[in-house]
Amino acid sequence: MGTFIQAVDGTKIYVEDVGSGQPVVFLHGWPANNNMFEYQKNLLVEEGYRYVGIDYRGYGKSDAPATGYDYKTMASDINEVIEQLKLTNVTLLGFSMGGGIALSYLLQYGDSKVSKLVLAGAAAPVFTQRDGYPYGMTKEEVDALIADTKQDRPSMLKGFGEIFFAKEHPEPLQQWFHGLSIAASSHGTIQSAIALRDEDLRGKLGDIKVDTLIIHGKKDQVCPFEFAEEMQKEIPHARLEVFEESGHGMLLDEQEKFNETLLSYVKGNQTV
């Protein structure tokens, strides 16, 4: 069922809460919503787990205030969901931008409620190129993406979708995925792109103590594979599962492998 959780500033955050048992909390990527995890939700509920999918402020069915799209505020929203739903022993999965938000949550609030972390195509430790970090887009490229969003958001999203996957997918599936992003607020899309451009978690990830699984597509054109290697260096208890045939959207590029890997990890198997 769907429910709304009130954030600290009064923003109503939509949560898809389905099933029972151990909770798996899903944090979506820019600029989609929790429905991008449809095929993981179906699997987990069938296996006896509780799917908790959060629409960030500005996305999906959540309120879209003018402010609050930085990682600190988004992490606060996640904390409110976990606290108000009284979730414990959580497996927290952050995809793309959701990976940065998941890490920010753990750095701010600790891991007392979280037992496992999955970073899937995560936009971390930093999304844009810096001195000593030659990976990802330049800040100028993100600025151009933001300018395109202000001018013609549907066309920007179409172009973004063209680099999202490494494999060809049926047109109806691509249109469905495109529709998830169209549903987002324009200012939320812009403001969180600014956060993606500017947030930097380097040097902090050594404080992540929870067991961590990094899943990353070798052909990722959005968050290059080097991101995964950098995260594995910094996070003490991280191991890396390489998806050789996947781009950024490994959830669909290698859907069966992704689901099997996730389910095995949630169940507690150490070999994935």
Q: Would you give the distance in Å from CA 187 to the centre of its chain?
A: 19
State the catalytic residues. 96, 220, 248
Please state which of the four CATH numbers 3.40.50.410, 3.30.450.20, 3.40.50.1820, 3.30.110.40 is assigned to the domain occupying 2-267: 3.40.50.1820
pLDDT-derived band at 75, boundaries 50, 70, 90: very high
Backbone angles phi, psi at 20, to 5 degrees: -140, 180
Is residue 270 over pLDDT 60?
A: no
Q: pLDDT tens, 89-110? A: 999 999 999 999 999 999 999 9
Q: pLDDT tens, 142-155? A: 999 999 999 999 99
State how far the alpha carbon of 137 is from the alpha carbons of 34, 160, 196, 206, in Å.
25, 13, 10, 24
Query: Is the Cβ–Cβ distance between 107 and 208 less than 8 Å?
Result: yes
Q: pLDDT tens, 196-251? A: 999 999 999 999 999 999 999 999 999 999 999 999 999 998 999 999 999 999 99
3-state helix, strand, coil in the chain (%, to 5): 45, 20, 35
Give pLDDT, residue 271.
40
